[in-house]
Every structure is written in C-alpha cells, then in structure tokens.
Structure 1
Amino acid sequence: MNEMPPLRTTNFCDACSIRNRAICADLDNDEIGLLNGIGRRRRVSAGEQILWEGDEAILVANVIEGVLKLSTQTAEGKEQILGLVYPSDFLGRPFGQTTPYGVEALTDAHICVFERKDFDRFAREHPRLEHKLLERTLGELDRTRRWMLLLGRMNAEEKVASFLLEMGERLGTKTADGAIVIALPLSRQQMADVLGLTIETVSRQLTRLKKDGAIELPSRREVVLIDTGALEARAG
C-alpha cells in the first residue's frame, strides 16, 4: 500500500488540540504562522515505525494524538523500551545528527512533522522555542530515569500500578466524584510488552487491583482509577 504524502494546511496550528501544551505554546500568533509554514500533519498506523535508532536525524515531530514507544537495541539484539510518548510530547533530536532511539506507533497516531534543519533554524531565530525545548529535554531525562527504575527495580504490582498512574495523569478524565477514567490505547498484550511482563501477569494484577477496590474495569479498554492513594502506595 502506497503511503499518502503528508498534507500541508494553512490553519492547522489554530485548530491544534495540543497547542497550549506543546513546545509551541509560548509562541505568538506571528511565530505560530511561521512555524505552520514549515510543518505538515501526518497520520500513522499502529505498528508503523517513524524514526530508526542511529539513522540520520531528518525529522522532528509533535504528537497530536496517539501513543508511541521509544526503544533501543541492546548488545544482544533485543529491544529495550525506553518509554512512551503521549499527545503534546516531542519526538526526535533537534540540533543532532543522528536519531538516538527508535519510535514506533503503538496506536493509530497523528503527528505534526518538521524537517529537522528547518526546525533548527526556526528555533535559533526564536529563543522562546529554544527555551521550551530545553525544558522538554530535561523533562524527558527525568521521565527516562523513572522508566528505567520501573523496568529494572519494580516488581509486577509496582509496575502495573505505576503504569496506571502515568496513564491517568497523561490521558485520564476526572469525574465529579474524583475518579479518573482512562480509555486505554493499549491492549493487555501491549501493556505486557511495554512493562516487560506476561499478559497473564498483567491480567492478574489488574484483577487484584479491582478486587481491592483501587480500580474498576468496565471493559478491556477502559480503566477507572478509584483510589489513587492506594495505587501510589502499591507503586512504591
């Protein structure tokens, strides 16, 4: 199947659902117009590879919709997941020559793509964007450290509880009674792959959390966080 080329539009920044949370949030209308001129929207399918570790850094992107994974290859040739990215997160390496990690869409996704050289030039000419990039880079470093702790030192209960708390923070909707509803973008098998567990272990941990009253499971693709305090205690 031939991939449709990304489309350039004249007003996608104005209608962008993550504009107030993305790296371009501090730009004024004139700057947004200039950034709009070098960006393109692109839809990608679940399982599609967007960036390859070690390749020339040609593109950078804002995530508008969907969840993607960052990964690297170990010396043994195995995949090591470095983390997940969500709407408003930034992908790629500005001012870099090579891509430091692979990026694959875990769900259907919508991204705003920039040629890296064009984006680098724009960032140098607009210090507010450079400052935002620095903030994002430091935040990404913190998230990577937490992720490596999750994968390397936590047990299954701690992993699942931490994962649900992160999903609630990034994708959840709070109800009037304080519960947090998450429309899960991942299947149980994808959750297991991301956390380095088996699907049976993930299912067992979710069932235990439900039995203890910390969560509800209305369907296989929906989780309601009832007691975030209990989840935080289980996450260690």
Structure 2
Amino acid sequence: MSRIDLSLATVDCAACPIRHRAVCASCEGEDLARLAAMKSYRTWKAGETIVLEGQALSFVASVVEGCATLTRSLEDGRMQMVGLLMPSDFVGRPGRTTAPYEVTAATKVTLCMFDRRAFERMMTETPHLAGRLLEMSLDELDAARDWMLVLGRKTAREKVATLLAIILRRAPTAARPLRAELPLTREAMAAYLGLTIETVSRQMTALRKDGLIRLDGARGILCEDLAALIAEAGDDGDGALLT
C-alpha cells in the first residue's frame, strides 16, 4: 500500500532534486507557489502497483525518486513493458481520465502529485506550464521512436549498452566514475529489451570484461567513460540516445 510521505510534506520546491527538469521547471514566483499549494507526496515500495491500466486517474505527478515501469496488457493476459519512468518524468495526461498503462514501482518510488482537475485549470491559465508539458511530451515521443530503433535494429550488445547508458545519464551526480543503481532485475531488463535473461547476463559480463562498465554490489553500476559506452550502443554523442 502506498504511503503519504510526511518527510517531504514541507520540502521547499526550490530544494527539490528534480526542480529544473520536471514539469514545474518553467514556473517561478506565484506560479510555483500555486503548484506547491496543491502538491502532495506519496511513496510506493518496489513491486507495488501505482496505477492500474484503465483505472480512473484523479492525479498527475512527477517522479521525484526511483524508477517505475509502464506496462500494457493484451486480452489473453500477455503483458509487455513499454517504458520506464525515471526522476523528473511525468505520470498521467491532462484531459485523460483513465490510465493507458499499468505503472509499477521497480524500486522505491516517490511521486510529487497534483490533483488532475486543479492542474488542468492551471494549465489553461498558465501558458508556459502547458508549453513545458508539451515540450516534455515531444521528448517522450522522440524517445519512443528511438526505442523502436533499439528493439528493431540493434544487436543484443547494443541494446544492453543503450539501456545502461540511459540509466547512467540519469545518475544523481556527474562525478567520475558515474554510478547508478540498476532499477530493473535481469529478468525485467530482458523483457524490456526483447532478449533472454541469459543473453542479458552474457552482454553485461562482456561489457564488464571490456572495461566499459564495472559492477558494484547487487545492483550498482559504474562507468568511467560514458562516451565509450554510448559509442558501443551504436549512437553518436549528439543526443541521438534517448534520455
């Protein structure tokens, strides 16, 4: 069961770790205060369902910490992971009353939540907030198109390197070596990449032996040269890799 996160209830928006990357990045002064007045924080444990596919969605939210998966299901019960939500990503769509995907916490996840109707009203009255959400939606569309290339044309090695690079580019600090926690199990990585667990494990081992990554404990991953990992993913350094 999700929990209201009282430890974050009084956090100043200016001190928020996603402040300049989230939907509120364009808001200052009165606009930021208006968002702050309607926000609440809620936390889910790894494995808990945040939103069910088709469920009425009374809120929109920004991911403050953690990683969640987006999943779609078929009538016969088969399911496919179609996306990841990382810190600063947006959950929900203004104007849409139901959730198109199931959202599940892959790690401990904290959301900064806004009442959907109140947020929609603010969007109509605050054009730059609507513009920021449009910008984020277009980035998400570009990322989805890039992911089609990953799944359809890249080799197993390139697929694994791409996913690791995406995660490392969201590392909390830019200190070298970059360090991030893998938010997905090998099984979940395999499902997301369209590979077998054995193939994912082999490619992780190969990337480690080639010095492109190092492993740190059960989930930690270290990278001294992100550019080299991006090159191994089959992407250039000009932002072609989805973030």
Q: What's the TM-score once normalised by structure 1's chain length?
A: 0.88
Correspondence for 1:37 = 37
Residue number in structure 2 paired with 1:226: 224
8 Å contact kept, 2:3–2:43: no
Question: Residue type of the partner of 1:73?
Answer: S
- Please say which of residues 162-171 and 76-85 is displaced more in the overlay: 76-85
Deviates more, 1:105-114 or 1:95-104: 95-104
How much does 1:63 deviate? 0.4
Aligned AA (2:149): L
For 2:78 and 2:218, the matched residues in 1 are separated by 29
Structure 1: state its 5+ residue gaps. none
Q: Using a 3 Å threshold, how does the CA distance of structure 1 residues 13 and 150 change in structure 2: closer, same or farther? A: same
Residues 79 and 152 (structure 1 numbering): CA distance in 2 closer, same or farther, change over 3 Å? farther
Instruction: Give aligned pairs, total.
Output: 233
Aligned to 1:195: 193
Matched, 1:140 2:140: yes
Instruction: Provide the rounded CA distance (Å) in 1 between the counterparts of 2:12 and 2:174.
Output: 28
Aligned-partner SS, 2:32: helix
- Per the TM alignment, residue 153 of structure 1 is displaced from its structure 2 partner at its CA by 3.3
1:216–1:225 contact (8 Å) kept in structure 2: yes
Paired residues of 2:68 and 2:105 also in contact (CA < 8 A): yes
2:216 match: secondary structure: strand
Q: Residue 122 of structure 2 aligns with which residue? A: 122
Contact persistence 2:158–2:232 (CA under 8 A): yes
Comparing 73-82 and 127-136, the one that deviates more:
73-82
Cα shift at 1:233: 3.4
**Aligned with 1:171: secondary structure?**
coil
Deviation for aligned residue 1:226: 3.3
The amino acid that maps onto 1:201 is T
Match runs of 1:1-236 below 5 Å: 3-5=2-4, 9-171=9-171, 173-176=173-176, 179-236=177-234
Matched residues in 1 for 2:141 and 2:60: separation? 17
- Whether the aligned pair in 2 keeps the contact of 1:82 and 1:147 (CA below 8 Å) is no
Distance in 1 separating the partners of 2:14 and 2:172: 24
Letter matched to residue 192 of structure 2:
V
| Residue pair 2:2, 2:43 contacting (<8 A) in 1 also | no
Q: Cα RMSD between the aligned structures?
A: 2.2
Separation in structure 2 between the aligned mates of residue 12 and residue 61 of structure 1, nearest angstrom:
17
How far the C-alpha of 1:12 sits from its partner, in A, is 4.2
Greater CA drift, 150-159 or 205-214: 150-159
User: How far apart are residue 181 of structure 1 and its match?
Assistant: 2.2
One-letter code aligned to 1:82: V
Q: CA deviation at 1:117?
A: 0.9
Identify if the C-alpha distance between structure 1 residues 229 and 14 changes in structure 2 by more than 3 Å, giving closer, same or farther: closer
> How high is the sequence identity, in percent, across the aligned residues?
44
Aligned-residue offset at 1:155: 2.8
For residues 146-175 of structure 1, what are the alpha-carbon distances to aligned partners after superposition, in whole Å with 9 as ceiling and x for unaligned? 223323333321110100111111126433
2:2·2:44 contact (CA, 8 Å) conserved in 1?
no
**Equivalent residue letter for 1:147:** W
Aligned mates of 1:82, 1:58 — CA distance in 2:
22
Cα distance in 1 between the residues matched to 2:222 and 2:121: 44
The Cα offsets for residues 75-131 of structure 1, whole Å up to 9 and x where unpaired, read as 543212111111111111112233222211100011111121111011111111011
Question: What TM-score do the two structures reach when normalised by structure 2?
Answer: 0.86
